[in-house]
């Protein structure tokens, strides 16, 4: 395996740099000191026993390297690729990442055709695999499987991003706009419309006649004076007929004339 080759190359390099003057047995002992863990530990103990009894053919570091490679089964590149191909899965990777990794492992594996498609399908996450398999025209080649899987994943991610954006826009429809069509509790238990449907404006008991907005919770200084009514005399809003200035003005103007007639009559 690749790990075995890495270990052997590192040990060989160190011996050439630091231990060329050491005895062969010392070099062998140094290499064995780094063979550790699991099956390798048991293998090392057995070899040390053989060396102690003179039953081993290992007399140099190079012979030890050959034995390590043979006993630990250095596999060919094709066999290693096949092993990776049979175990590769998408996991937490995106479909793009999975496809690229699958292509890398495929090169040199000798797999092609339907066996290669089956290995690719096995490693896919369930949702996309089911959609492709249940499609009206399912993919038939490894290229189609890979291309359509990536495209489906991109479409799904784009759709989810748009839904999140629409959700945020719905939660914040816009700026500091005032509410429309709202209402509040009016005087004497009445429900008084505050904002009209035609762009705002106060709507009190005076129907559709426009007027200034007034805080419903503020003190009503005009209560009892007709402050929220329309005058029947002059047609203006804000007072009753009995308090109409126009009516009183007419009386004031007329009074001297009536007095003059009375004086003339005398």
Return the structure tokens found at 214.
């007034």
- Mapped onto helix, strand or coil, the DSSP state of residue 194 is coil
Per-residue pLDDT reduced to its tens digit, 32-82:
999 988 888 899 999 999 999 988 889 999 999 888 888 886 566 677 777
pLDDT, position 217:
59
- Mapped onto helix, strand or coil, the DSSP state of residue 230 is strand
- Contact by Cβ (8 Å): 200, 178: yes
pLDDT, position 66:
86
| CATH node for 77-168 | 1.10.1200
In this structure, are strands 183-185 and 191-193 parallel, antiparallel, or unpaired? antiparallel
CA distance 141 to 143: 5
Radius of gyration of the chain (CA): 48
Could you tell me the pTM of the whole model? 0.37
Return the structure tokens found at 16.
């050439």
Residue 161 has pLDDT above 70, yes or no: yes
Centre a 10 Å sphere on the Cβ of residue 142 and count the other Cβ atoms it contains.
21
pLDDT, position 182:
47
Alpha helices in the chain (DSSP H): 2-18, 24-32, 38-53, 61-71, 77-87, 95-106, 113-123, 126-133, 142-171, 245-265
Q: Phi/psi class of residue 155: alpha, beta or left (left: φ > 0; alpha: ψ in -120 to 50)?
A: alpha
Per-residue pLDDT reduced to its tens digit, 83-134:
778 888 888 888 889 999 899 888 877 888 888 899 898 888 888 888 898 8
CA distance 30 to 33: 5
- Contact by Cβ (8 Å): 192, 183: yes
CA distance 191 to 198: 19
The residue extents of the domains of the chain are 2-71, 77-168, 185-213+228-240
Per-residue pLDDT reduced to its tens digit, 216-263:
555 555 555 555 677 777 878 777 777 777 766 655 445 555 544 555
pLDDT, position 74:
55
Q: What torsion do the CA atoms of 29, 31, 35, 36 make, to the nearest 10 degrees?
A: 70
């Amino acid at each position: 395996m690749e790990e075995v080759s890495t270990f052997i190359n590192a040990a060989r390099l160190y011996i050439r740099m630091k231990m060329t003057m050491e005895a062969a047995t010392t070099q062998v002992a140094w290499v064995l000191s780094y063979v550790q863990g699991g099956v390798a530990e048991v293998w090392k103990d057995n070899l040390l026993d053989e060396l102690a009894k003179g039953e081993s053919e290992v007399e140099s570091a190079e012979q030890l390297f050959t034995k390590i490679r043979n006993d630990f089964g250095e596999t060919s590149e094709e066999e290693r690729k096949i092993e990776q191909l049979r175990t590769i899965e998408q996991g937490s990777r995106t479909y793009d990442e999975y496809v690229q990794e699958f292509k890398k492992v495929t090169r040199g594996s000798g797999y092609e055709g339907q066996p290669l498609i089956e290995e690719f399908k096995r490693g896919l996450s369930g949702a996309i695999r089911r959609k492709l398999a249940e499609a009206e025209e399912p993919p038939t080649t490894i290229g189609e499987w890979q291309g359509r899987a990536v495209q489906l994943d991109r479409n799904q991610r784009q759709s989810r991003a748009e839904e999140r954006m629409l959700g945020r826009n719905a939660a914040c429809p816009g700026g500091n706009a005032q509410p429309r069509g709202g209402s509040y509790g009016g005087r004497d238990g009445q429900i008084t419309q505050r904002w009209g449907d035609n762009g705002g404006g106060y709507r009190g008991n005076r129907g559709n006649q426009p007027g200034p907005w007034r805080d419903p919770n503020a003190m009503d200084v005009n209560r009892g004076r007709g402050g929220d009514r329309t005058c029947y005399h002059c047609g203006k809003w804000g007072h009753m007929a009995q308090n109409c200035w126009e009516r009183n003005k007419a009386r004031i103007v007329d009074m001297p004339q009536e007095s003059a007639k009375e004086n003339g009559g005398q």
